Amino acid sequence: MRALLEEREQDILDLIARAYRLHGEGRSAVPHSVFLRFPEEPANRIIGLPAYLGGSEPVAGIKWIASFPGNVARGIERASASMVLNSMVDGRPEAFIESSLISAKRTGASAALAAGLLCAEPEPTGISLVGLGPINLEVLRFTTARLPSLRTATVYDLDTERAKVFAERARQVVPGLTVAVVDSAAAALGAHPLVSLATTAGRPHMDLSACQPEAAVLHVSLRDLTVAAVLDAQNVVDDADHVCRERTSLHLAELETGGREFVHAEIGTLLRGGSGFRREAGRRVVFSPFGLGVLDLVLARWVRDRANAEEVGVRVEGFLPGGAA
């Protein structure tokens, strides 16, 4: 999986942009995700994301992604995921794919596309990263591919050792990048006009008062921001129906206000050029992506096709019962 995805940032950006456009055109089916929670372990969850994406190469399937925050202390990744792709001819499962790498890559590409659309400066030179796990590493990888002007990163994590390790890894991922580790979230938030939040927070804990007045904030982890911070900003989402669920910051804002007037645009519409959305001078903009299953699908199919072409992976004959009854 790593080899198939390595150094293909532009291909992945193009795939994710295409998926967003098709979704914006209504050429998708994305049922609400199913959240499996555990009464004795409230921090843990497993989410099922079924989806279908149409167009010239339709694809259907489901991602099954587990989030166990305690894994970080165990020295393993917080999230693990797998995906099943189904045939659009007979519905049978065609591929079973490790999907945590796909999930991280599509999340990074999604954030980078938003950064390219929403930054007040056409060529920002720096990005701030709060929450230093694999997701923000991919956000860094893809935003620097989308915005080559980015040459500086300011990073913060509650775990200072984790921050130091991340900084070294960031310098490897983006050669020539200057990385500064700071000792507070506020210092990171105010350092640059582009900010990415990718924490494991389960409830709002942060406003944006430390950010620059016209900052673009990639709210990847969805539950960091207070309701007041959401309402004070221009808000762009991937899909309003999906992001206003499961007590995300935007869901809490909807519950408090009784509506979704604070959502100004969806990214698929922006990519298609069909929105009247404009940045307001002196106002921050927040991108809150729920993470649509169609993004995983389109990248998983691309990986499956490359694996077939390069004859890698394992083919299991006789996995399904054969012949008519």
Secondary structure string (H, E, C) spanning the chain: CHHHHCCCHHHHHHHHHHHHHHHHCCCEECCCCEEEEECCEEEEEEEEEEEEECCCCCEEEEEEEEECCCHHHHCCCCEEEEEEEECCCCCCEEEEEECHHHHHHHHHHHHHHHHHHHCCCCCCCEEEEECCCHHHHHHHHHHHHHCCCCCEEEEECCCHHHHHHHHHHHHHHCCCCEEEECCCHHHHHCCCCEEEECCCCCCCCECCCCCCCCCEEEECCCCCECHHHHHHCEEEECCHHHHCCCCCHHHHHHHHHCCCCCEEEEHHHHHCCCCCCCCCCCCCEEEECCCCHHHHHHHHHHHHHHHHHHCCCCCCCCCCCCCCC
Distance CA(150)–CA(177), nearest Å, equals 8
pLDDT score, position 106: 97
- Please list the pLDDT of the chain residue by residue as tens digits (325 residues): 999 999 999 999 999 999 999 999 999 999 998 999 999 998 899 999 999 999 999 999 999 999 998 998 898 888 899 999 999 999 999 999 999 999 999 999 999 999 999 999 889 999 999 999 999 999 999 999 999 999 999 999 999 999 999 999 999 999 999 999 999 999 999 999 999 999 988 899 999 999 999 999 999 999 999 999 999 999 999 999 999 998 999 999 999 999 999 999 999 999 998 778 999 999 999 999 999 999 999 999 999 999 999 999 999 988 888 765 4
CA distances (Å), 243 to each of 121, 136, 190, 261, 323, in order? 27, 20, 26, 14, 43
pLDDT for the residue numbered 323: 60
Q: Two tokens at 175? A: 């050669």
Express as a percent the part of the chain with pLDDT over 70: 99
Query: Which tokens in the block code for residue 130?
Result: 């709060």
Instruction: Fill in the DSSP letter of residue 224.
Output: S
Whether 252 contacts 202, CB under 8 Å: no
Whether the Cβ atoms of residue 144 and residue 15 lie closer than 8 Å to each other = no
Query: Measured at the alpha carbon of residue 163, what is the angle toward residues 72 and 230, in degrees to the nearest 5?
Result: 85
- The SS3 assignment for 178 reads strand
Structure tokens at 140: 């860094």
Instruction: Say if residues 318 and 91 touch (Cβ distance below 8 Å).
Output: no
State residue 274's pLDDT score. Answer: 74
What pLDDT does 324 receive?
A: 52
Q: Is 155 helix (H, G, I), strand (E, B) or coil?
A: strand
Residue 72: CB atoms within 10 Å: 14
Distance CA 98, CA 85 (A): 11
Of 64, 79, 185, whose CA–CA distance to 134 is shortest? 79
Task: List the one residue out of 310, 314, 293, 318 whose CA is nearest residue 97.
Answer: 314
pLDDT of residue 325: 47
